[in-house]
Structure 1
Amino acid sequence: MTSPLFPDVIVNGEIIPHKMVAAEAQHHIGPRGKPGIAWRKAAKAVAIRTLLLQQARAQKIEAHPEEVAPGQIETEEEALIRGLLRTAIDTPHPSEAEIRAEWERGPERFRSPPLWEVSHILIACDPRSDTARKKALARATKLTGLARDERNGFSALAARESDCGSKTSGGSLGQLGPGDTVPEFEAVLRNLNGGEVTETPVLTRHGYHVIRMDAVAESQVLPFGAVREKISDALEKTAWARQAQSFVGQLVADADIKGADLSVV
């Protein structure tokens, strides 16, 4: 018996099994205690996928699964939908004038990443252990005070006290950029000036760190030639997404869909 909260999803007469919607619902977020919201989002996603597959088969699209990531091959259904969209959507390359206009709309948006030359002292511990964390914090706090009092002695302090292999080079990690280290560590780097040492130890999954910013190369606005291809790709992807949305919208308008609210975000 169908629940009013979870009605059957029917797309052009094709009934979608409840287990398929339930499997999809695991990928959608809803407020705790309100499973109906995640279910409605899943019902919409499954209804649209079914509609696209129906269209692909009606047009006799052939599935040729491709590798989408190392060791990961598309399913036949994913290949069918890709083939359908490739047939239905023809996105022209943006013109040179459009690319330049997008750049001129805000050149400051296109910047080189910053580079940080960093040294640190690691006091290793398992952050999940209260005992180990407290012991490491006490040691890290003491070392922070020493590092801030005698900044010229940071390398020697790291060589003597650090639990990281970088101790052999005085704690130097060399040049780092965005994404090169764990988020908690990077967040601190973004707020340190050259020559500064962190005021308090920084906790990551590796333990506590005393961090010194040796030098900073700030991000710079890039010239048009350096970002032209990036802008062109972004404009083409935006145009493709707009056309795909329009294509799906037309399919939905022409379809008979029950049990799914296609307006759900």
Structure 2
Amino acid sequence: MKQKFLLATAAAALLTLSAQGAMAQNLAIVNGKAVPKARLDALSQQVARTGRPVTPEMEGQLREEVIAREVFMQEADKLGLAARDDVKVQMELARQSILIRELFADYQKKNPVTDADIKAEYDKFVAANGGKEYKARHILVEKEDEAKAIIASLKKGGKFDAIAKKQSKDPGSGAKGGDLDWANPASYVPEFSEAMSKLAKGQTTDTPVKTQFGFHVIRVDDIRDAQLPSFDEVKPQISQQMQQQKLATFQEDLRKKAKIE
């Protein structure tokens, strides 16, 4: 009799442990249907990816969200909404979005941008933008004769900024007396850049400079060594840009390989 009692007690204990194990795997039971805890874990991971911390309070809110979704899904199933053609199309589009997102994430994980790649890109940036920077002004007009008349006026003591405000056709710099602020010569069209780079501090072009925009009278107010950001300052931006470029190349390669009729 005692042995039977012990066996019954052991069986009850096993059933209790089994039930506790099942509950550990489930978040709740809604209308008799188990809601797996894995859903809460997945939702928490989604929130964490956005950079928001999953606090105990947030976890409680997410738990309620998962349970509410199950309640609503059960009602949608009861109404047979998943069988509707328009809903099927939306569900397929959602499925595609998830898979495509994971495809791109998988590619980026397997093809990371290395520190060496980023440093090489930064070195190219420095090579292209190093050297000197110029603080220049210009007056833009449509005709060469107008530019020649302005140069003559400046030689007689005319004020550059006053003439620029009155006659320059460049709406951006004209209102500021022709001021273009600090810039690398590579920022300008070649003809403008070449003429500006020949000027010393305080010097004005003796002849009009023709570009696709018209005729320019250029003055250099100051020259300095290029002020470039350090590698550490721009490393995150370069990394992101290179990742986007690699992903765009991957996407384009897939499209080129696809047989589209």
Higher relative contact order (CA 8 A, sep 6+): 1
Asked if TM exceeds 0.5, the reply is no
Larger Rg: 2
TM-score (norm. length: structure 1):
0.43
More helix by share: 2
